[in-house]
Structure 1
Amino acid sequence: MAPSVAIIGVTLLSAVAGCHTSRGPLARAASPTDVGLNTRDVVDPVAQPLADAALTTLDASTPAREAGDAARERAGAAAQDARHVLCLSGGGSYGAYAAGVLCGWTQSGRRPAFDVVTGISTGALIAPFAFLGPRYDGAIRHFYTETRTRDVYVKRPVRGLFSEALADDAPLRRTIDGMVTWGFVADIAAAHREGRRLYVGTTELEGRRFIVWDVGGIACRGRPDDRALICDVLAASAAIPGFFPPVRIPVSIDGRVLAEKHGDGGVTQGIFFRPPWPPDRPAAGTRVWCVVAGKLYADPAPLRPRALAIAGRSLSDIIFAQTRGDLQRIYTLAQLNGMDFQMTAIADDFPAPAESTEFNPPELRAMFDEGFRQAQSGRAWRGTPPGVAPGEAPRERAGTCLTEVPKR
């Protein structure tokens, strides 16, 4: 979305100049964010209302109403025996919000026992604790309110340019190793035998494919390397490619012992769903809870005129869009199968940190407290996917004369 910022800058300045463009001075002209405008609020006053009306008409169409009514009917029929699936996204230090949601949910007295928990990246680190229940709330609260950057990684920018990572994640590996004890593994195995499921996603970097690990299945193998494999999977899911080194996981392929290279699951998926066990049981009535560790849309910010900065910003935008797309797919799946969809994310107007790779306790506590408050009060959840709430529709343009319409 970086190119769109430049386009908005061009068009807004054109509006100020009476909608007359002159390419010469634009290279030095200020952008909307440079002058303090929130680009989310900059719209084409002619085209945008027409686009919003068209989307509203589509949402209210007969097929859409019939699909929604049928899904609600199926869900209502099965609500007495509802099962619960928790899906946790990636998001680095923004995982503090997800941790706060879980702890506030517990405090409200409304948090269910989860039949399935899935996690990616920072969500993978939270997932085992969420899976095992509120007795582990203290552990996730401590990690996501007290951790400092040096407790997660050590930067090595010069040496990193000539190796496979810009940072050493040994501190995080030590933390994971300390948390995942044999008793912890035994608790996961016991829950798995009861029919509950815990899944963590990684990216197999050479195959460029998303891999789902059945962590409970690993815990039940009864092998001496079970704990080490679970630690590797959790570390791999949070290993940002290029920033953290890939995790080498030994595999046996037709008797040959080889090493796969695994990294952040968020590279290939932002959040994912798995149905409750057994899979042949109708899904109607299942409640799907999606917790986004971060915002649905990136905060506007001035763009530095540097190739690496532009490329990095664009990659971040792709990840935001991917997570929204994954949420929309989960919502559609829920609608088609009579499941109830609920999601939560950090509100647009919350002053979240600019970098998800920095762990600063005051900022972590602020995000944790926000998630806690929202979940405890019951205000955290919405039943609609990204793209349908006010201000979330794609911006449509029929020209370059724009106006600022602040969100009320």
Structure 2
Amino acid sequence: MRRMLATGMVWVAFAALCVPVQAQNSTSDDPAWTVKDRSTSRAGCWHTPRPQTLEEIGKVYQNGLARERRKTEVRGYPARAMLALSDGRLRTAYSAGLLVGWGETAQRPDFAVVTAAGVSALIAPFAFLGAEGDQIIADIFACDTLSFEDMASRAVSHLTHERLERIAQRHEGGDRLVVALPGSAARAESVWDLGAIAASRNPEAATYIERILLAAVDPAVFIDPETVPGGVGTVVRRNRVFREVGSGEPFLSPDPAGVPLGSYYLIHNGVLFPDEGDAFAKTQREAGAEVSLVPAHDFFLRSHASKASIRIASPRPYLGIQPQSDFDMAYMRALFVDTFRQARMGREWRRTFPDRERSYQ
């Protein structure tokens, strides 16, 4: 197994998949980018909805004041924050709506670490970039499209040279952007360091990232990590013993011995569950595995041990809608808009893990 992450960081795959990409002969220190025509001139289709209740009107007004204050206030050095996004296929629209709505409150931190699994990989680069990515995330998940592949193509169209360069500079400064691709009959599970790919300035870097994002939504696409220079991709093992089918989706997690984090934010797009992953993770570490599977509950244990704050969000059943097909744009849009409204009113985040009495910081 090849090591893909920077020194001091070990990444844990929660639901990952192996993605190989065909590399061409080029040097990783070549500063040139080969970027296709990725036009971003079109106007986005997403427009912020009007508030519907007196409470929402008040929150929207307060959010506007908070955003203005943030432009001029002197802020101390913030604790490093991590955002972890699970997979969820159609339910990934929940993550998208939460992040965009949260951005309106002026309370969302700038994330030093962003990890994502499966379809959530379409969100990760733009969440990593901060406020400039909000409109893009909304356009990907709330605008009419015909398939996941079209959504991935839309995401790729926004990865301009300038944005890739900002991702590269963030990576060089110690921040991390990593995604996992779920396994299927066509491929093994794998993890990819998108920040390292961007920072390589390899002429094919943009193409590698494009293929990875397309593979994130298509389980039939296989990319061999051995064909991508720089050790930026690695095949991982999945624990199929303690996790029941349908019980949840995977996260990626930094090793607690790596760069210290002051706060964790987990968005779980599926059903939350308590399970026992510590024993398996310990076994993997003893076996020398560089990447292993860790459940959401382990984040809580880790944050408590390091006195870091942690928040978790997941869809709630009150919306009362169900997808009518494997790709249901109306369902995704409804989930996105509802979650956006809740998030801009400061809701969704909580401090406790389901079925656990302990409240964490």
Give unpaired runs (5+ residues) of structure 2. 1-75, 244-248, 274-292
Q: Does 1:195 align with 2:174?
A: yes
- Alignment of 1:368 with 2:353, yes or no, is no
Q: What is residue 274 of structure 1 aligned with on the other side?
A: 254
Change (3 A) 1:172 1:384: same
Structure 1: which 5+ residue stretches go unaligned? 1-78, 153-168, 298-323, 390-408
Cα 1:387–1:236 change in 2 (3 A) is: farther
Q: Give CA deviations for 1:207-249 in whole Å, capped at 9, x if unaligned.
A: 9864322111110111111011111222223333xxxx22334
Q: Which residue of structure 1 lines up, in the alignment, with residue 351 of structure 2?
A: 383
For residue 269 of structure 2, the aligned residue among 286, 293, 298 is 293
Q: Which has the larger radius of gyration?
A: 1
In structure 2, how many angstroms separate the alpha carbons of the residues matched to 1:339 and 1:261?
A: 29
Pairwise CA RMSD: 3.6
Partner of 1:336: 305
Please give the alpha-carbon distance, in whole angstroms, between the structure 2 residues aligned to 1:281 and 1:216: 16
* Letter of the 2:265 counterpart: W
The 1:115/1:223 distance shift into structure 2, 3 A limit, reads same
TM value normalised by structure 1: 0.54
Return closer, same or farther for 1:194/1:250 CA change in 2, 3 Å cut-off. Answer: closer
Q: Within 5 Å, which residues of 2 pair with 1:78-89?
A: 81-89=78-86
The percent identity for this pair of structures is: 27
Deviation of the 1:377 alpha carbon: 2.0
1:282–1:250: structure 2 CA closer, same or farther, 3 Å change rule?
closer
Inter-partner Cα distance in structure 2 for 1:118 and 1:326: 14
How far the C-alpha of 1:190 sits from its partner, in A, is 1.8
d(CA) in 1 for partners of 2:264, 2:325: 26
Show the counterpart of 1:100: 97
Q: 1:210 to 1:341 in 2, by over 3 A?
A: farther
Could you tell me which residue of structure 1 aligns to residue 159 of structure 2? 180
Trace 1:390-405 onto structure 2 (pairs within 5 A).
none
Q: Using the alignment, how far apart are the partners of 2:155 and 2:162 within structure 1?
A: 14
Matched residues in 2 for 1:88 and 1:212: separation? 14
For 2:269 and 2:97, locate their aligned partners in 1 and report how far apart those are by CA, in whole Å.
10
1:349 is the counterpart of 2:318: yes
Q: Could you tell me which amino acid in structure 1 is paired with residue 91 of structure 2?
A: Y
Contact 2:140–2:155 (CA<8 Å) still a contact in 1? no
Corresponding residue for 1:237? Answer: 216
CA contact (8 A) 1:343 1:381 kept: yes
Are residues 1:246 and 2:221 paired? yes
Q: 1:118 to 1:356 in 2, by over 3 A?
A: farther
List per-residue Cα deviations over 1:242-265 (Å, max 9, x = no partner): xxx223346249x9xxxx9989x9
Which is richer in helix?
Answer: 1
Moved more, 348-357 or 85-94: 348-357
Q: How many residues align?
A: 253
SS across alignment from 2:192: strand
Counterpart-to-counterpart distance in 1, 2:329 and 2:78:
42
Mapping 1:39-58, distance limit 5 Å: none
